[in-house]
């Protein structure tokens, strides 16, 4: 790794100031540091300063994870939960560790999909160091992006090597021209819980998680919509007690997902009354599946055939590349199994450790 100065700001506002001042030519935000060190070891980045926000907490929040029955007025607004009046809200500090969120009784009770998505991310060693905001803002894992010798679109080059190259793990949705899949397990889980990221250092207090990312045609060299100096201090999401996550990997215990699905349901009088479905590892952004969600509404949780039929719509609109057509079928399976997880029904293959 190159030489750098380790900057230890005392607040997020100070951190933002360091990022936007001209003190350093390439200051990079660091929390757990896993993705930053990865980029430095691969010589993709050579920052002259790492701005360490590992130990910072959002103003006013003492514990990494806090739950509220009503949204507290952090930003001058008091939004109501979208789904039902007994749903609460959860706030998680940006610096909270993935392992702590995955095992948090509060998160497990309020939104199992969030805890499950993080329990399935990477390995114990990574979950013990990686943070919530780091998971949301990590760069894509496309192997052409991650190798210095490929001057790909994302690095300012002129071509996407995945188009002609090895594309078994690339996107099946989206027009390109860059075909990454979004790397975060957490972002799709937050999508089905109406999550938000809360910000300092810019003009905005918060963004919906659905507004945090953009497709490659709107900008290839970055995946998120944060302005320079804007830093995520915490995330918030609504309680979704009937929710579930299912990821399909080559090696279920530790691998990047081939496809995964996040599902949140509301069930009343033995009918699904609300559904929200988001897929991961299939598109450059968390990929909502509104047609599956629409087909689930009105269906009985016990009507396996109707649920399977709804899940078959998951691949609608997919445009697979040469080697990743298998993801279309796999996605229907992942969505179906995420629904079974949400409904606490037995899941085929679950014993082999999709934990």
Partner 1 sequence: MSDGVSRRSFLKTAGASAAAASLAQVAQAAIAPPEAGVPATPTLGPDATDVTLSVNGKPMKLRVDPATTLLSALRMECDLTGAKEVCDRASCGACSVIIDGRLVASCMMLALDAEGTKITTVEGLAKGDELDPLQLAFVKHDALQCGYCTPGLVVACRALLDKNPKPSLSQIKSGLSGNICRCGTYTNIFNAVLEASGQKPIADSAPV
Which residues are near partner 1 by CB under 8 A?
1-10, 14, 17-18, 21-24, 33-34, 37-38, 40-41, 48-50, 52, 54, 99, 122-126, 128-129, 253-254, 351-353, 355
Smaller CB distance to partner 1: residue 252 or 308? 252
With residue 21 as reference, give the H or E element that holds it: none
Q: State the minimum distance, in angstroms, from the CB of residue 166 to partner 1.
A: 19
Instruction: Note whether 186 and 136 are within 8 A (CB).
Output: yes
Q: State the minimum distance, in angstroms, from the CB of residue 252 to partner 1.
A: 9
Measured distance CA(173)–CA(316) in Å, rounded: 9
- Residue 30 tokens, joined: 């660091």
Q: State the minimum distance, in angstroms, from the CB of residue 130 to partner 1.
A: 9
The phi, psi pair for 285, rounded to 5°, reads: -135, 165
Question: Measured in whole angstroms, how far is the alpha carbon of residue 90 from the centre of its chain?
Answer: 16
- Residue 253 tokens, joined: 């215990």
Question: What does DSSP assign to residue 274?
Answer: E
Smaller CB distance to partner 1: residue 12 or 237? 12
Smaller CB distance to partner 1: residue 86 or 351? 351
Smaller CB distance to partner 1: residue 98 or 296? 98
Q: State the minimum distance, in angstroms, from the CB of residue 122 to partner 1.
A: 8
Smaller CB distance to partner 1: residue 19 or 262? 19
Smaller CB distance to partner 1: residue 34 or 275? 34
User: What's 212-246 look like in SS3?
Assistant: CECCHHHCCCCCECCCCCCEEEEEEEECCCEEEEE
Tokens 């996550």 — which residue?
245
How far the first Cα of the chain sits from its last, in Å, is 34
Smaller CB distance to partner 1: residue 57 or 110? 57
- Among candidate residues 94, 102, 134, 132, the one with its CA nearest the CA of residue 245: 102
**Angle between helices 112-119 and 326-342 in degrees, nearest 10:** 130
- Among candidate residues 88, 95, 33, the one with its CA nearest the CA of residue 65: 95
Smaller CB distance to partner 1: residue 7 or 295? 7
Q: State the minimum distance, in angstroms, from the CB of residue 32 to partner 1.
A: 8
Cis upstream peptide for 177 (omega within 30°): yes
Q: State the minimum distance, in angstroms, from the CB of residue 154 to partner 1.
A: 19
Q: State the minimum distance, in angstroms, from the CB of residue 146 to partner 1.
A: 10
- Residue 220 tokens, joined: 């290839």
- Among candidate residues 156, 148, 121, 136, the one with its CA nearest the CA of residue 38: 148
Q: State the minimum distance, in angstroms, from the CB of residue 39 to partner 1.
A: 11
Q: State the minimum distance, in angstroms, from the CB of residue 138 to partner 1.
A: 13
Q: How far, in Å, are 52, 125, 278 from residue 305 at the CA level?
A: 51, 40, 21
Beta strand 89-93 with 49-52 is unpaired
């Amino acid at each position: 790794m190159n030489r750098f100065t380790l900057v230890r700001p005392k607040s997020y506002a100070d951190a933002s100031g360091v990022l936007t001042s001209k003190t350093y030519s390439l200051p990079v935000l660091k929390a757990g540091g896993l993705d930053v060190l990865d980029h430095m070891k691969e010589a993709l980045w050579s920052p002259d300063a790492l701005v360490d926000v590992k130990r910072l907490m959002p103003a006013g929040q003492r514990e990494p994870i806090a739950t509220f029955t009503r949204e507290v007025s952090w930003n001058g607004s008091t939004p109501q939960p979208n789904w039902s009046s007994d749903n609460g809200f959860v706030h998680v500090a940006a610096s909270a560790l993935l392992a702590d969120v995955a095992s948090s009784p509060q998160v497990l009770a309020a939104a199992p999909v969030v805890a499950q998505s993080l329990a399935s991310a990477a390995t114990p060693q990574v979950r013990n160091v990686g943070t919530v905001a780091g998971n949301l803002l990590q760069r894509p894992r496309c192997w052409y992006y991650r190798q210095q010798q490929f001057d790909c679109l994302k690095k300012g080059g002129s071509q996407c090597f995945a188009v002609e190259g090895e594309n078994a793990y690339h996107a099946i949705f989206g027009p390109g021209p860059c075909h990454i899949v979004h790397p975060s397990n957490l972002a799709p889980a937050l999508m089905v819980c109406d999550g938000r990221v809360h910000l300092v250092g810019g003009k905005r207090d918060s963004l919906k998680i659905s507004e945090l990312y953009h497709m490659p045609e709107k900008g290839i060299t970055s995946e998120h919509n944060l302005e320079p100096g804007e830093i995520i201090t915490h995330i918030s999401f609504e309680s979704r007690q009937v929710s579930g996550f299912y990821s399909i990997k080559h090696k279920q215990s530790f691998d990047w997902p081939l496809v995964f699905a996040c599902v949140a349901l509301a069930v009343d009088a033995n009918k699904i009354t609300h559904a929200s479905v988001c897929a991961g590892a299939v598109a450059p952004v968390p990929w909502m599946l509104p047609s599956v969600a629409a087909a689930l509404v009105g269906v009985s949780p016990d009507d396996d055939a109707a649920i399977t039929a709804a899940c078959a719509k998951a691949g609608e609109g997919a445009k697979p590349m040469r080697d990743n057509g298998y993801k279309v079928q796999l996605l229907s399976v992942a969505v179906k199994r995420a629904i079974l997880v949400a409904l606490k029904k037995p899941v085929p293959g679950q014993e082999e450790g999709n934990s």
